[in-house]
């Protein structure tokens, strides 16, 4: 078993605030505005403190109405509101943890008509234009930050994180991009950083000397007219002088067109940024972004890139992350795969955050896993994400569980996903559930296509069909030709494609297959990622941007679809633009409004806007959707077996692991 001495070594700050070197980074959950939200936050954060996280930072809370994320966003501006936070801080303290409230003023990023900013410049990701703060309003805003911090102390928080990064209000004052003022709060860099420095001084004065102040410093803006390394170092030194306890690393603005936290971003891709500040300040430095395992965290700390590690989504995935690392059981950690499907994608459409690999995240009070009072014999058919989550949770509760799968390995459709460039992290989910299945005593039969008669004769109390989906095959003349492959043939079974490929279908699978076909064998490394997206590691100018390296494909790919909707309209809310950009960079052609007429050995004949055209292709890959695999259902129901459908067998929706794992876990919790 491995141990992680650097990760778990105490950090001496003159007073005990941490029991390890990990910090749970801020992440809005939606609980902040939900009914019974404070009680649910108490359960959520309390479970993470119990799991060994020494210092937790909450989701962003505004210091004023103008600073809200949205029109109903959370604000801490009165003692009455502060008292509502008490259950949260008490829950964390009962488990021996510390907790800081993030003070977040969104500035021009706020999605409501009362937003303010350093200037009148509208954010490209917003429809609202900000009101530029006057001198009087600036001082009022500074006082609102300080008042919010003092109220946080009244609520029992051990500190605050002042959000000065990611393009929010403070960052908007600092950057030339958003500050075109000509008064004492604009112009020179010294003037532009007055705002954060006055905030820190005011917070320190009002909240007290022993109160933790974390400053989230944007070390790499990744936008034009952003900061450079000299400015970052100067600001770091000044915020230390102003009274900051810890400096946390911020990477990228929300309007930046460079992925910084998606699955396609290599692990620990930005710790080199924090390392540039090491040695220039005397307070601890925290690094962040895509650090999701103890091994990665240990390597970063041992290398000296930072003093502490900030992880947000990994604590959604597994509240016991630190305890498992400390116990030398990293293989039992439910690893964050950075998919964003249930966390950020939920927040951006007004849903409560959860986690694809851990549906209990933010739902601790209603999705409860407890020992069964009546042991049952249960068969689970299908070892994909739904089947694995269901079988392992059933066994965890004390049921006798048998898991069948016709394939020779666990994972189901995840074995397709993990072969897509930039989606290799899905292998961690297979690894986690595979270990859990073994630990909980599930009897596994792989390479076994179980029959209805066998399930009936097995006298199971319940049968769960997690049999997934089968590719939908469209009715096009010529489908029987040798140059036609399904996405399963191509990705999972490794059948070769030619140099000129037509992809039928433009949903998530169509995009994945097109990326798979055009990857060109580029190794998934940090160096290639930085070159592909144009990141300047010297941070010498222009917000850390450089010229993007051209991504040459080894194939010509044309995507086809029947509908006239925009390509990529069904992709993830926060990651869809990344997939679209990747295919644009690889010059993938796209044709919509297609009627398929015939496939032959030279390609496919289509009709677009009443005109026939031939798409030349030596290979045709079918990504035209899926249908539920329910071949066992009728026989089992006729025999009176208690049958449950989950995942793709319930509803075919491409590679929908999020819903499958959620359904599997919830079903297991109630059987």
The CATH number assigned to the domain holding 108 equals 3.20.20.70
What was the pLDDT predicted at 285?
A: 97
509 lies in some domain: yes
**Could you tell me if 443 and 333 lie in one domain?**
no
Do 146 and 210 belong to one domain? yes
pLDDT at 13 over 50: no
* Same-domain status, 462 and 495: no
Beta bridge partners, 484, equal 620
pLDDT tens, 180-223?
Answer: 999 999 999 999 999 999 999 999 999 999 999 999 999 999 99
Strand, helix or coil for residue 90:
helix
DSSP 535: B
Do 251 and 327 lie in one domain? The reply is yes
Instruction: Report the number of distinct structural domains present in the chain.
Output: 3
For residue 348, what pLDDT band results from cuts at 50, 70 and 90? confident
| pLDDT for 21 | 87
Are 313 and 436 contained in the same domain? no
Number of helical H runs and strand E runs in the chain: 24, 25
Gap between the Cα atoms of 236 and 169, Å rounded: 18
Distance CA(459)–CA(632), nearest Å, equals 15
Calpha distance 656→519 (Å, rounded): 23
Let me know if residue 541 belongs to a domain: no
Residues 422 and 284 in one domain: no
Cβ neighbour number for residue 470 with a 10 Å cutoff:
16
Is the same domain home to 202 and 145? yes
pLDDT at 482: 93
Report the pLDDT value the prediction gives residue 551, as an integer from 0 to 100: 83
Is residue 329 in a domain?
Answer: yes
* Pairwise CA distance, residues 216 & 96, whole Å: 24
Question: Is residue 200 situated within a structural domain?
Answer: yes
The answer on 104 and 188 residing in a single domain is yes
Residue 174 and residue 81 share a domain? yes
Q: What is the mean pLDDT of the chain?
A: 94
246 plus 395 within the same structural domain: no
Tally of CA atoms within 13 A in the half-sphere of 439 that contains its CB = 14
The verdict on residue 368 lying in a domain is no
What CATH number does the domain containing 574 carry? 3.50.50.60
Residues 194 and 257 in one domain: yes
Give per-residue pLDDT as tens, 271-326: 999 999 999 999 999 999 999 999 999 999 989 999 999 999 999 999 999 999 98
23 & 160 share domain: yes
* 8 pLDDT tier (thresholds 50, 70, 90): low
**Quick one: pLDDT band at residue 11, thresholds 50, 70, 90?**
low
Cα–Cα distance measured from residue 528 to residue 534, given in angstroms and rounded to the nearest whole number: 10
> Would the pLDDT of 654 be above 80?
no
Q: Which of 12-16, 118-122, 341-345, 528-532 has the lowest mean pLDDT?
A: 12-16
Cα–Cα dist 667/671, whole Å? 6
Domain residues for the domain of 56 are 5-347
In a domain, 308, yes or no: yes
- Express each pLDDT in 545-598 by its tens digit: 999 988 888 899 999 999 999 999 889 888 999 999 999 999 999 999 999 999
- For the cut 80, the answer to whether the pLDDT of residue 524 exceeds it is no
Task: Please return the burial class of 540, using the count of CB atoms within 10 Å of its CB with bins 0-12, 13-18 and 19+.
Answer: exposed
Rounded-to-integer distance, Cα 108 and Cα 483, Å:
52
Predicted TM-score of the model (pTM): 0.94
**Residue 61 to residue 134: CA distance in whole angstroms:** 23
Dihedral sign computed on CA atoms, order 479, 483, 486, 489 = positive
Active site residues: 168
Decide if pLDDT at 18 tops 90.
Answer: no
* Structure-token pair, residue 467: 């049999």
Question: What pLDDT, on the 0 to 100 scale, is given for residue 522?
Answer: 66
pLDDT of 5 reads 58
The two three-digit tokens of residue 359, written as one number: 């549906």
Q: Band of the pLDDT at 76, cuts 50, 70, 90?
A: very high
The CATH number that applies at residue 657 is 3.40.50.720
Q: What is the dihedral of CA 492, 497, 502, 504, to 10 degrees?
A: -20
**Beta carbons of 125 and 49 less than 8 angstroms apart:** no
How do residues 409-422 score in pLDDT, each as one tens digit? 999 999 999 999 99
| C-alpha to C-alpha distance for 30 and 37, rounded to whole angstroms | 8
Segment (H or E) for 584: helix 576-585
Residue 365 lies in a domain: no
Q: What is the pLDDT of residue 309?
A: 95
639 located within any domain: yes
CB neighbours (10 Å) of residue 538?
10
Q: Quote the crossing angle between the two packed helices 508-518 and 576-585, to the nearest 10°.
A: 40
């Amino acid at each position: 078993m491995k141990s992680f001495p650097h990760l778990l070594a105490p950090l001496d700050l003159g007073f005990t605030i941490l029991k390890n070197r990990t910090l749970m980074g801020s992440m809005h959950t939606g609980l902040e505005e939900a009914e019974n939200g404070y009680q649910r936050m108490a359960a959520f954060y309390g479970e993470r403190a119990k799991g060994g996280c020494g210092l937790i930072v909450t989701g962003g809370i505004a210091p004023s109405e103008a600073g809200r994320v949205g029109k109903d966003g959370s604000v801490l501006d009165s003692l009455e509101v502060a008292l509502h936070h008490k259950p949260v801080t008490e829950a964390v303290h009962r488990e021996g943890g510390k907790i800081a409230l993030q003070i977040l003023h969104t500035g021009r990023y706020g999605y409501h008509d009362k937003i303010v900013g350093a200037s009148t410049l509208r954010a490209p990701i917003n429809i609202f234009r900000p009101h530029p703060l006057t001198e009087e309003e600036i001082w009022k805003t500074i006082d609102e930050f300080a008042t919010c911090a003092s109220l946080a102390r009244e609520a029992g928080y051990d500190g605050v994180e002042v959000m000065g990064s990611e393009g929010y209000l403070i960052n908007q004052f600092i950057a030339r991009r958003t500050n075109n003022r000509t008064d004492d709060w604009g112009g020179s860099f010294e003037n532009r950083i007055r705002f954060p420095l006055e905030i820190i001084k005011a917070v320190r004065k009002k909240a007290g000397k022993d109160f933790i102040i974390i400053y989230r410093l944007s070390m790499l803006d990744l936008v034009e007219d952003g900061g450079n390394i000299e400015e970052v170092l100067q600001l770091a030194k000044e915020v230390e002088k102003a009274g900051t306890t810890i400096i946390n690393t911020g990477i990228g603005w929300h309007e930046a067109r460079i992925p910084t936290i998606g699955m396609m971003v290599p692990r620990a891709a930005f710790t080199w940024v924090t390392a540039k500040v090491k040695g220039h300040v005397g307070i601890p430095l925290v690094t962040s972004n895509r650090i999701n395992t103890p091994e990665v965290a240990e390597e970063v700390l041992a290398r000296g890139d930072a003093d502490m590690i900030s992880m947000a989504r990994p604590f959604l995935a597994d509240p016991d992350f630190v305890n498992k690392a400390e116990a030398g059981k990293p293989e039992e950690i439910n690893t964050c795969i950075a998919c964003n499907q249930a966390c950020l994608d939920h927040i951006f459409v007004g849903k409560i955050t959860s986690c694809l690999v851990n549906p209990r995240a933010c739902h601790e009070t209603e999705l409860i896993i407890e020992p069964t009072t009546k042991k049952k014999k249960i068969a689970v058919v299908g070892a994909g994400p739904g089947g694995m989550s269901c079988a392992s949770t059933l066994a965890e509760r004390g049921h006798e569980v048998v898991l069948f799968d016709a394939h020779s390995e666990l994972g189901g459709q995840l074995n397709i996903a993990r072969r897509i460039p930039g989606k290799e992290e899905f292998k961690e989910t297979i690894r986690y559930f595979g270990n859990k299945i073994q630990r909980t005593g599930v009897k596994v039969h792989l390479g076994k296509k179980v029959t209805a008669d066998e399930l009936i004769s097995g006298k199971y109390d319940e049968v769960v069909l997690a049999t997934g989906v089968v590719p939908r095959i469209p009715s096009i003349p010529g489908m029987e030709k040798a140059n036609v492959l399904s996405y399963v043939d191509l990705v999972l079974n490794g059948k070769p494609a030619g140099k000129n490929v037509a992809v039928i279908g433009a949903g998530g699978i169509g995009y994945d297959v097109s990326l798979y076909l055009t990857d060109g064998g580029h190794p998934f490394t940090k160096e290639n990622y930085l070159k592909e997206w144009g990141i300047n590691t010297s941070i010498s100018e222009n917000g850390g941007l450089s010229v993007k390296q051209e991504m040459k494909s080894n194939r010509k790919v044309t995507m086809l679809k029947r509908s006239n909707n925009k390509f990529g309209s069904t992709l993830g809310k926060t990651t869809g633009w990344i997939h679209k950009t990747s295919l644009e960079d690889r010059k993938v052609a796209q044709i919509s409004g297609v009627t398929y007429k015939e496939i032959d050995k030279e390609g496919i004949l289509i009709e677009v806007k009443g005109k026939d055209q031939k798409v030349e292709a030596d290979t045709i890959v079918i990504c035209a959707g899926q249908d539920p695999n329910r071949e066992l259902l009728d026989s089992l129901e006729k025999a009176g077996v208690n049958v449950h459908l989950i995942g793709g067998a319930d509803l075919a929706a491409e590679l929908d692991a999020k819903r499958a794992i959620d359904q599997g876990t919830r079903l297991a919790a109630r059987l």
